[in-house]
Structure 1
């Protein structure tokens, strides 16, 4: 099926999608600040340019959009138009995520991915629930985990 927009309109729409300081990043930053956890943002020197770097605990946190990073939740839906194009693009994002996380882990960084569905939408976690999970993982010393609407999932 063809795209419903002409090339110029599609290009304009795609440029409007924020890559930093998104609503989900702002919410997570507020929760980290409320917990008193010092962090840096968008460190280009690290693989994947993590959204948050917590030097005191040698950990990084990514906020992943469920569509762009193919999360298995209600926010991900395969597009009806240009399906092959989108699946290839999203597949490359997933492969890049795996590569970046592996590089960070090899360098001794702990990695947390907070999925968009945990931060927004009808099933999002409350600020209290999300803060508890963030603090639990940051202070635990565990190497790799994800937070989504089902809670925290360790991946080590």
Structure 2
């Protein structure tokens, strides 16, 4: 049972951003400042990745821990309408895995960054992403 009316719940949910979130913008700004160029929300790719780095044939998903079920303290389950939320989260997870698998099958390198990682230490996270990109590019060039 939901504590809010359908109208109020709908209003609340309509205010949740699906793209250009503050976390996505923060990651993009840091990458751009370090010289990485990208596209955003490319609808021609499965899952419309948040960040697409064509030079590295890499996509980055900036996932909220709650919505995408990261194994951290931010991934709580609401106490009202619990069955609905469990089903919703399960569908989100299945959809994420399907999109990641399709992208990998198309030859894309997939990086997933989590909300808690960004909030904990965004600079450390960016360095980790950049190292992974450079390693991936190096390995890709070596094995072509």
Q: Tell me, which stretches of 5 or more residues in structure 2 are unaligned?
A: 138-144
Q: Give RMSD over aligned pairs.
A: 1.0
More strand by share: 1
Aligned residues: 137
4+ runs of 1 displaced by more than 6 Å? none
Contact preservation (8 Å) 1:61, 1:114: yes
Contact preservation (8 Å) 1:60, 1:112: yes
Q: Alpha-carbon deviation of 1:141?
A: 0.8
Cα separation, 1, equivalents of 2:117 and 2:28: 14
Report the secondary structure of 1:141's partner residue: helix
Cα separation, 1, equivalents of 2:18 and 2:5: 23
The question of 1:139 aligning with 2:134 is answered: yes
Corresponding residue for 1:125?
121
TM-score (norm 1): 0.85
Q: Alpha-carbon deviation of 1:126?
A: 4.1
More helix by share: 2
Report which structure shows greater RCO (CA 8 Å, sep ≥6): 2
Q: Tell me, which stretches of 5 or more residues in structure 1 are unaligned?
A: 143-156
TM-score (norm 2): 0.92
